[in-house]
Amino acid sequence: MTISVGIIKEGKTPSDQRVPLRPEHALLLSKKPFVSDVRIQKDARRCFSNEEYDEKGLTLTDDVSDCDVLMGVKEVPIDQLIPHKTYFFFSHTIKEQPYNRPLLQAAIEKKIRLIDYEVLTHKKGQRLIAFGRFAGMVGAHNAIWTYEQRKGILSLPRLHHLRDYEEAKSVYEKRALAPIKIVVTGGGRVANGAVEVLKDMGAHQLDPETFLKIETDRAVFTQLDCSDYAARKDAAEFDLDYFFKHPEEHESIFEPYTKMADVFINGIYWDNQAPRFFSPEDMRRDDFRIQVIADVTCDIAPVASVPSTLRPSTIDDPVYGYDPKTEKEAAPFQPECIDVMAVDNLPNELPRDASTSFGEQFLEHIADELQDPNSDILNRATIAQNGNLGEHFRYLKSYLEGQA
C-alpha cells in the first residue's frame, strides 16, 4: 500500500513563507517506495517558488484533496480542513491555548488525524523535528535590533530583508555592538540558536556568576540553565528531573539578572505550573534594568513566564511597549516603557534556511514512519484521530469541551 503526500498552501494570515519540505526534499520523499506521489499546492508566497518545485519534476496543483497526507507549517484555517485526512502542522493546542480550541474541535468533528510536529519525539521525550534553532537566531537578532532602535542606532537590517543567514553574518562582520549586557534563558535549540547569533555578532560570553559581578565596556551575555533561574521552595538541592515533574514546587531566583541585564532573551519551554521570571510589581522597581525583552517562548500573559508578553507581535510590526505602571501596552521605544519583541513565527524571517533544516530532520527521523500504521513516534504526536483525542492527549478533554 502506498500513500500520496500533499504540501499545502499556507492559509493562516499573515502568511508564512516556510515550507515543511524544500524542492529537493520533496523529491527525495517522492522516491520512497511507499510514496506514490508528492504534490505541491501552488502558492506564490513561499520562500521556494512554484518554479523551483516544478524544476524537480514535482506535480503542482491547485487541489490536493485527493492526497492521503497533507503537510503544512502553521495552523490550517478551519474552513480549509478536509475531513478524514492526515495532517501535519503546528497546531498550538497542546498547552490548551484558548484561541485554537475551535481548531481542535473541528479536527475531531471532521475525523482528521492531526499530527503535531511539536510532539514528534523519541521514547525519552526529546523532540525529533523543530524550527527552534532559527527561532532563537532570529530572536537574538531582533533583540539587538530592538535595543539599537531604542538607542537611535539604525544600522542593523532586519533578517527578512536579507537572503539568508550567510548574508547576515557578512553584515555582523562589518559592525560592532555597543556595550550591552544580555541574559539568555534556556539550554535547548532556541537558546543555543540565540547564543550562536550573539557570538557571531561579537558579544563575549560570561558565566552567570561573573555576569552578575561586573560592568563592562563591551557587549557581553550569559546563558542560564534552569538551576540558575529557579529553586525549590523547600530549599532542597535543585534537581532537573524533579523540576520538570514538579514545576509548581519551585520559585524564581531570576531577580539578580533584572538588575544587571539590559536585554533579556527568553528561550525556554515553559510549563504552565512553573514560576514566572518576575512579576508586574517587580517590573515597577527602580532597579529593574531590563529595557528590551525578546520573548521567543511567546506564551501570552497571564499564563506566561513573562508578564509583559501581552500579545504576539508580527514580523512587519515586531515591537510594542509595555508600561510597568499601567501594565498595559504602549508605543515602543519610550524611556518609561519596556520594549517587547514577541513575534510568534520568528523562523519565517529566515525561511529558506529554516525550511532546509526542517526538511532534513523530517527525512531523517519521520519520513519512514509514514509507512508504519502503528508507528510509536506518530502515535505519540497524534492529537486527534477518528473523532477522538489521541491516547497521549486525553488530558485535553476539558479544554476541548470548553471547560478549561
Domain 132-349: homologous superfamily in CATH: NAD(P)-binding Rossmann-like Domain (3.40.50.720)
Give the CATH number of domain 3-129+351-400.
3.40.50.720
| Residue pointed to by grid coordinates 510509536 | 376
Predicted TM-score (pTM) of this structure: 0.86
Tell me, yes or no, if the two domains 3-129+351-400 and 132-349 fold the same way: yes
pLDDT-above-70 percentage for the chain: 100
Provide the angle, in degrees to the nearest 10, between the axes of the packed helices 189-201 and 132-150: 50
pLDDT-above-90 percentage for the chain: 93
The pLDDT of residue 404 is above 80: no
- Consecutive H or E run containing 222: strand 219-224
Cα–Cα distances (Å) from 275 to 51, 176, 190, 226, 399, in that order, read: 49, 36, 20, 11, 22
Give the pLDDT band (50/70/90) at residue 28: very high
Q: Which pLDDT belongs to residue 13? A: 80
Give the pLDDT band (50/70/90) at residue 77: very high
Cα(362)–Cα(360) distance, integer angstroms: 5
- Consecutive H or E run containing 182: strand 180-185
pLDDT tens string 90-149: 999 998 988 899 999 999 999 999 999 999 999 888 899 999 999 999 999 999 999 999
227 near 247, Cβ under 8 Å?
Answer: no
The pLDDT of residue 403 is above 90: no
The pLDDT of residue 251 is above 80: yes
Q: Which pLDDT belongs to residue 315? A: 94
Where do the domains of the chain lie? 3-129+351-400, 132-349
